[in-house]
């Protein structure tokens, strides 16, 4: 029977390990040789099934081993920071150990003996408890991590404060469960086993609710930020449409008077009154220029020009100079709506950065474009305050969530179209400049 329990534990734990790596691969890039990390992860699990340990080691050392090997294995699998690796390692350990103690206490209660690690380790229930713990952990992994929280975990992993909160609670919960389950004191058997079962069941419930709360709170914070960003975009568009409407009305009035002016010009020509004729033409030209005042041609695309003209006014309002020569070939494989989103978020980030430049006379932004092999390169260069800006940070604002959301849109759009970006800082004449270069593939 014990062989069947071992086979059951091996099969279920293997499925758990495989899907654990696969599910979280949606949120992190895999390393080139991630298979090595997976093998270490799987071997660490299988070691837990050993019932004969060398050098007189006790079962407690098997548990401690996972605190070392899990982070190492997962860091070899995923390309991410130490906070995410710590969370993933403790997440797996907490799931497995808590459920293991739950079933071990249940079997100890059936056998009417006090649960101790030594008893469960030498009993016929050890591998069965392991298998059942991985089964429950596997079900929770699929239902909670893959289904319930799948769309919300990406934003969760970007928030270090939420990660640190969860990691702290993971540590607290593990310490309490390990301390109570590892006691060697003789306690009332029924009372102690039931307390352990209630404790582990409560830990599972509390941990699940906490994860739901933090994931949802992060998700709704990002959703609110997304909504605020869209509101700002709509506000800028509304201002542009109002300006466009004003220019359209002026053009209609101009058109309305056009025939009268042309009739007058015809009469003057017939009379040979060139002096008055020249004056009318000059006034006519000035009136037409007044209608087009404030509009500059910054690109070879009317849609991009509208956005650039809007931002030129915003930059002008904070004393920043604005230059732009953007030539985007029409055979690039990117939709205009995504190009607008890309420009909007880049320009918005530059605007926020320029607000931190204290000397208004040094505020500037320049946009250039050029063809580089199979890519269109668009360069955005703006002055920056080094005390408030960082190339590596997603945000220079106190509201990092909002700024990070804009940066994530930039990266997402570029990635979608197989483009990439380059960010760096230069210094010239005592001024610091932030450079953002985006590369968009050109269709062959």
Question: pLDDT tens digit string along 183-224?
Answer: 777 888 889 999 999 999 999 999 988 888 888 777 776 666
* Domain identity same for 21 and 138: yes
Considering the chain, what percentage of its residues have pLDDT values greater than 70? 75
Residue 178 lies in a domain: yes
Assign 155 a pLDDT band (cuts: 50, 70, 90).
confident
Residue 204 lies in a domain: yes
Residue 331 lies in a domain: yes
Q: How far apart are CA 109 and CA 7, in angstroms?
A: 25
Residue 411 lies in a domain: yes
Q: How many domains does the chain have?
A: 3
* Domain identity same for 94 and 163: yes
* Domain identity same for 254 and 314: no
Write the CATH number for 422.
3.30.565.10
Task: Compute the average pLDDT of residues 51-59.
Answer: 63
Q: Which range has the worst mean pLDDT, 20-29, 47-56, 144-153, 252-261? A: 252-261
* Domain identity same for 95 and 193: yes
Residue 269 lies in a domain: yes
* Domain identity same for 384 and 262: no
Assign 264 a pLDDT band (cuts: 50, 70, 90).
low
* Domain identity same for 68 and 207: yes
Reply yes or no on whether the pLDDT at 271 is more than 70.
no
**Whole-number pLDDT of residue 403:** 41
Residue 388 CA to its chain's centroid (Å): 21
* Domain identity same for 277 and 344: no
* Domain identity same for 150 and 107: yes
Residue 296 lies in a domain: no
* Domain identity same for 117 and 28: yes
Residues of the domain holding 79 = 2-222
Question: pLDDT tens digit string along 15-36?
Answer: 999 999 999 998 888 998 999 9
Task: Compute the average pLDDT of residues 94-123.
Answer: 91
Residue that terminates a domain, selected from 291, 323, 341: 291
Residue 437 lies in a domain: yes
Q: How far apart are CA 276 and CA 196, in angstroms?
A: 103
- Nearest of 168, 164, 127, 120 to residue 13 by alpha carbon: 127
Residue that terminates a domain, selected from 175, 203, 222: 222
Reply yes or no on whether the pLDDT at 334 is more than 50.
yes
Residue 264 lies in a domain: yes
* Domain identity same for 402 and 254: no
CA dihedral 7, 10, 11, 15 (to 10 degrees): 170
* Domain identity same for 287 and 149: no
Residue that terminates a domain, selected from 247, 265, 291: 291
Reply yes or no on whether the pLDDT at 337 is more than 70.
yes
Reply yes or no on whether the pLDDT at 399 is more than 60.
no
Contact 379, 324 (CB under 8 A): no
* Domain identity same for 217 and 359: no
């Amino acid at each position: 029977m014990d062989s069947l329990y071992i086979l059951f534990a091996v099969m279920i734990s293997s499925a758990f390990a495989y899907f654990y790596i696969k599910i979280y691969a949606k949120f992190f890039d895999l390393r080139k040789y991630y298979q090595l990390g997976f093998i270490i992860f799987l071997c660490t699990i299988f070691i837990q099934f050993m019932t004969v340990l060398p050098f007189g080691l006790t079962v407690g050392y098997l548990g401690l081993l996972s605190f070392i090997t899990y982070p190492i294995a997962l860091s070899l699998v995923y390309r991410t920071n130490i906070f995410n690796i710590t969370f993933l390692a403790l997440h797996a350990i907490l799931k497995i150990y808590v459920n293991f103690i739950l079933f071990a206490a249940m079997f100890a209660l059936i056998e009417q003996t006090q649960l101790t690690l030594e008893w469960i380790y030498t009993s016929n229930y050890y591998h069965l408890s392991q298998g059942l713990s991985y089964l429950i952990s596997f079900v929770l992994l699929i239902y909670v991590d893959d289904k319930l929280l799948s769309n919300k975990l990406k934003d969760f992993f970007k928030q270090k404060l939420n990660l640190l909160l969860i990691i702290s609670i993971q540590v607290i919960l593990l310490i309490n469960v390990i301390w109570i389950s590892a006691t060697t004191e003789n306690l009332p058997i029924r009372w102690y086993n039931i307390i352990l079962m209630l404790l582990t069941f409560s830990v599972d419930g509390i941990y699940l609710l906490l994860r739901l709360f933090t994931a949802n709170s992060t998700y709704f914070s990002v959703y609110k930020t997304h909504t605020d960003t869209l509101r700002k975009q709509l506000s800028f568009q509304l201002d542009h449409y109002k300006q466009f409407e004003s220019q359209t009305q002026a053009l209609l009035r101009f058109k309305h008077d056009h025939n009268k002016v042309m009739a007058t010009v015809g009469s003057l020509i017939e009379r040979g009154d060139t002096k008055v004729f020249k004056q009318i033409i000059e006034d006519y030209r000035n009136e037409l220029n007044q209608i087009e005042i404030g509009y500059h041609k910054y690109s070879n695309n009317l849609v991009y020009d509208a956005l650039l003209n809007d931002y030129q006014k915003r930059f002008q309002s904070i004393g920043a100079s604005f230059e732009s020569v953007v030539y985007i070939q029409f055979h690039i494989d990117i939709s205009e709506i995504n190009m607008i989103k890309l420009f909007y978020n880049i320009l918005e980030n530059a605007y926020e950065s320029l607000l931190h430049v204290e000397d208004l006379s040094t505020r500037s932004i320049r946009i250039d474009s050029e063809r580089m092999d199979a890519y269109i390169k668009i360069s955005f260069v703006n002055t920056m305050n080094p005390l408030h800006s960082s190339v590596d940070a997603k945000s220079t604002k106190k509201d990092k969530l909002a700024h990070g959301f804009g940066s994530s849109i930039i990266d997402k759009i570029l990635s979608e179209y197989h483009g990439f970006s380059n960010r760096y800082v230069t210094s010239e004449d005592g001024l610091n400049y932030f450079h953002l270069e985006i590369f968009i593939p050109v269709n062959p």
